[in-house]
Amino acid sequence: MLNKILQSLYEADIRIVTGTPDGWIVPLIDALANDDRFQYIPAAREEECFGIASGAVMAGKKAMVMVQNSGFLNSVGCYATLCQKYQTPFVVLIAHRGGINDSNSYDPNKFRAFEAVTHGMNIFVHNARWEDLPAILPKAYARSIGAGEPTFVTVTEAPPT
């Protein structure tokens, strides 16, 4: 499945990916970081990811951000004043922690806050299964171009083993 996701990104010409680690997306981070077709840029803080991706797309390349839901919450100001204001199109893959598939005691508040903030900001969010990502991610990028804004795709569980 990871190979299919990478092939999908490659065929969509999405070659620059930046993110911060989350347990659910670590396998995808590892796969991207070890594939010479992609530049994976590990950021120290999630807010940077939205700046890095915006810079890449304003310089003419396609990009994707991968962060946990709390990482987006860390980045809301940057998202509003950079990504929305400059209309930077890219894909944001979110590990949406704290839902029905997540028993960690420290994650439910992230789920509630992400839901509240994205609803409050009227941000389009598409929830996907891991196995659907190869088809969804190119559509998400196409939507981001049409909408002139990042397109959020969430996963609510760990990838299948």
Partner 1 sequence: MKQLEAFELLTAFAEKHDALIVADIGSQSLWLKAVKDRVQNLYLSGPMGQASSVALGVAAAQKERLVIAACGDGALGMNMTSLATISYVAPKNLIVAVMDNGVYEFTKGLPTPTLGVKWAKVPGTFPGFKKTFAVDALDTISDPFGGPYFIHADIEPGPLPPGPGLPAVIAHDRFKNYLTGAAKTTASPQQC
Residue ranges binding partner 1 (CB under 8 A) = 16, 18, 39, 41-45, 47-61, 63, 77-78, 80-82, 85-89, 145-149
Identify which of residues 55 and 108 has a Cβ nearer to partner 1 in the complex.
55
Cα(11)–Cα(97) distance, rounded to whole angstroms?
29
Are 140 and 126 a contacting pair, CB within 8 Å?
Answer: yes
Minimum distance between the CB of residue 99 and partner 1, rounded to whole angstroms? 28
We find the least distance from the C-beta atom of residue 83 to partner 1, in angstroms, to be: 9
Neighbours of 33 (CB within 10 A): 14
Q: How far apart are alpha carbons 153 and 1 in whole angstroms? A: 17
CB of 103 to partner 1, least distance (A): 30
Of 51 and 159, nearer to partner 1 (C-beta) is 51
Minimum gap (Å) between residue 119 Cβ and partner 1? 22
- Output 111 or 141, the one with its CB closest to partner 1: 141
Of 25 and 41, CB closest to partner 1: 41
Distance CA 44, CA 138 (A): 26
Identify residue 5 by its one-letter amino acid code: I
Between the alpha carbon of residue 116 and those of residues 105, 111, 112, 137, the distances in Å are: 19, 9, 6, 24
- E strands in 59-135: 62-68, 91-95, 125-127
Give 82 or 136: the residue with its C-beta nearer to partner 1.
82
Closest separation between CB of residue 108 and partner 1, Å? Answer: 27
